[in-house]
Amino acid sequence: MLSAIGRAFRTPDLRRKLLFTLGIITIFRMGAFIPAPGVDYGNVQQCLALGATSGGLYEFVNLFSGGALLQVSIFALGIMPYITASIIVQLLRVVIPHFQALYEEGAQGQSKLTQYTRYLTIALGLLNATTVVSLARTGALFNNACSVPIIPDDNIITILLLIITLTAGTGLIMWMGELVTEKGVGNGMSLLIFTSIAAGFPSSLGAILSAQGWTVFLAVLAIGVLVVALVIFVEQSQRRIPVQYAKRMVGRRTVGGTNTYIPIKVNMAGVIPVIFASSMLYLPSLIAQFNTPANGAPPEWVIWINNYLTSGDHPFYMAVYFLLIVFFTYFYVSITFNPEEVSENMKKYGGFIPGIRAGRPTAEYLQYVLSRITLPGALYLGFVALIPLIALVLVGANANFPFGGTSILIMVGVGLETVKQIDAQLQQRHYEGLLR
């Protein structure tokens, strides 16, 4: 393995790409610790020393920003606005025919969708920045567990400057991610997310070691190895549907007559259903907060939500979380993989599945396979997502338990994809790649 890494750095073009990627990652991590203008860095560190944390949906933002949210740094929003914008644009393809037409146009149409994603990222960044600044001013960013002010001088000029800085930080992160995709190795946005999540591993493991001792710490590491092996196995698993293409004449040439396959992954939805389910579960608690009176007893439905839908260690919360993940897995797969479209493209180019007639029978067969292979994928996602909640009960870990949920899914997926890209580039220049 070390010799393969040495070959990668001895290849001038690949070495330049790797060093460029590492440089962007370094700048990204440095920005997570540069305080935004108007923020009292000493007070922020005092709140963090008290163990105050954000709650609900903003646990995700803090995770995806590598802890920059609770540092209230210039990169406090992280890459989350871009992720949200990408998901929204992808979902709008189902609702808006123009978006679907742009997607089918090829590279030119998809470049326009990318531009729409950038505009939406800035808009969401502005909205999120306003929310974060409001939470920081009132102390709700730390669940009102910290008495010192985060923004001591909260006049209108300071607030506007802070909002603009956080929004600009989101735009800068988006630009750096696109630079890595263009001039570096791997997908830039995915690598920045990978870096943010990996940055929280040492502190999470250190907290478990200091609170639970070596026995629990080693047990967590052993479970982590098993979970990583499970995630790698499932992420690499796929059902290959054989496809044959009939020979046909194009001009004076005979084309076709090849055998290939349609790869249908067990987990086609990735980490999106987990994010959707977490966001949906946060909405009831958010509504309850707005309907809780400052003085007096809250309504009964608010008490019920606070008892059952805000605590991650409650069995009812876990059951609803699991079912939502299963539902959103089927929902997301149904809008990203269209059996009728695949069948029509196969029929257009003379392709067919052996034993299945072209046209509608092929689409029905693909739908049959897809619906059954999605079930183990949905159950797997639900199981991995529940690991941090189970760890919260068993070992008292925080919600960002490293070996489970979105963190391990993203890290393993991005790691595998990046290694494959480095291996492919090595094989273009050598007979031997990074992997053997």
Question: Pairing mode, if any, of strands 248-250 and 238-245?
Answer: unpaired
Total-model pTM:
0.79
Domains and CATH numbers, the chain: 1-199+430-436 (1.10.3370.10), 203-403 (1.10.3370.10)
Q: How far apart are CA 30 and CA 93, in angstroms?
A: 36
What are the φ/ψ torsions at residue 259 (nearest 5 degrees)? -110, 130
Do the beta carbons of residue 20 and residue 180 sit within 8 Å?
yes
Chunked into runs of 10 residues, the chain (436 residues) has average pLDDT values of: 67 85 91 86 77 55 73 85 85 82 81 90 90 80 74 86 92 91 85 84 78 80 84 88 75 67 86 80 72 67 75 78 90 85 82 84 89 90 83 61 72 82 75 55
Would you state the pLDDT for residue 24? 92
Q: How far apart are CA 234 and CA 380, in angstroms?
A: 8
Q: How far apart are CA 389 and CA 382, in angstroms?
A: 11
Residue 70 neighbours by CB distance under 10 Å: 20
Which residue, among 37, 84, 123, has the nearest Cα to 278 in the 3D structure? 84
* Structure tokens belonging to residue 249: 């004449």
What are the φ/ψ torsions at residue 238 (nearest 5 degrees)? -155, 155
Half-sphere exposure of residue 364, counting CA atoms within 13 Å on the CB side? 6
Would you state the pLDDT for residue 170? 92
Would you state the pLDDT for residue 426? 77
* Structure tokens belonging to residue 436: 């053997």
